[in-house]
Structure 1
Amino acid sequence: MVDHQTLILITAISSLAGALLTQLMTGFFSYFNDRRKYKQELKNTFRNRRTEIGESFYFMNGEVMTIVQKNIAYWHNLHRDRSEDSLQYLHREMEKLTALNQRLNEENWKYNLVGIYYEVPFPLHEILQENKKTHALCLRILDLSAQIKVTLPQEQVDLYREYNLVIFELCAQYESVYSRMQDNMTCVKAALLADYL
């Protein structure tokens, strides 16, 4: 038979073991619950940030695409015979676009982060390469325009031919960039929608 003191000792030990087991299980569940909450908060933070970057990109890309379209229209209209008033109007419109572009560039840090959160088909490094080509073509047009102004009329034919070819090449460059930017917008839009479906 088990004496009274042994029974008290066994009861105390089993109570202590029960309390330790309860504390251990509570701690275990608390740890995993906190870990699950942390991971969920991290996922939510990432999703919110991804959405913010995606929406900012979508807006900025749309604005830049509008600028590209207007640049195409500008260059298509510039090489035609125009009155001085219509040329001044086109130049004022381009100045407005330049101001808009500068304002957009002040906020473009979010635009540049799109590659971190999305797999876009037209990444930033390729955009920068295409910008270099576009700038080179614009400078060539300006150089040709300056040459035409100081060249004798009979020598201007070849310069005008080259000028028109460079304008055509610039417009084709803009259209290519526009198409690739549209692919980026489609990609980001699909990813944003997938996040909420």
Structure 2
Amino acid sequence: MFCIVLQENLRFCLFIISCVLLFSSCNKKNFLKKEIKKGSFSLLKENDSLYYLTITSANNSDKWKLPYPVYQFQTGDVDGNGIEDALIGVIKPTRFDSIKANRLFIFKNYRGLVRPLWLGSRLSQPLVNFSFKKKEKYTRIRSVEREKSGKYLVAEYKWRKFGLEFTKYLRRETDSISAIALLEK
């Protein structure tokens, strides 16, 4: 009986020591932070509705506050200038559309500073998701959007001076599974 009590006390002590080591190795703020790094950009998550888009170089660091839930983060040279851009999918209302919905924001690296390239309120239809595609000679942003009928469409856009320009539909009036598969293709 004495051995059983001693064994239970030993397990309890090991549990307490494990918990102390776990929580002493990180303070609460570091425990909540999650960083996703893609190229020169990284996305730092403070909580479910506060993110920071950051650029860190050898001699500079800059960040842009995103006080919205983020559903997508990709990087690529959207405008064709040879410098990587960040594509962020956020969920928020806009000045022109008061309903919370998926939006696409594009940020550029301007001399080591995070600056907006395009803060889209909407594409041709309500946005579901997007993907950056680089082909041999050009880049495109592919989107899944919700049709008025409730089905989905897959479209491609290219950068045109001050915003995205529609290039073509890849598929219309399709189900969500087919649309997502085409988005990733």
Q: TM-score, normalised by structure 1?
A: 0.25
- Structure with higher Rg: it is 1
Q: TM-score, normalised by structure 2?
A: 0.26
Q: In proportion to residue count, which structure has more strand? A: 2
Q: In proportion to residue count, which structure has more helix? A: 1
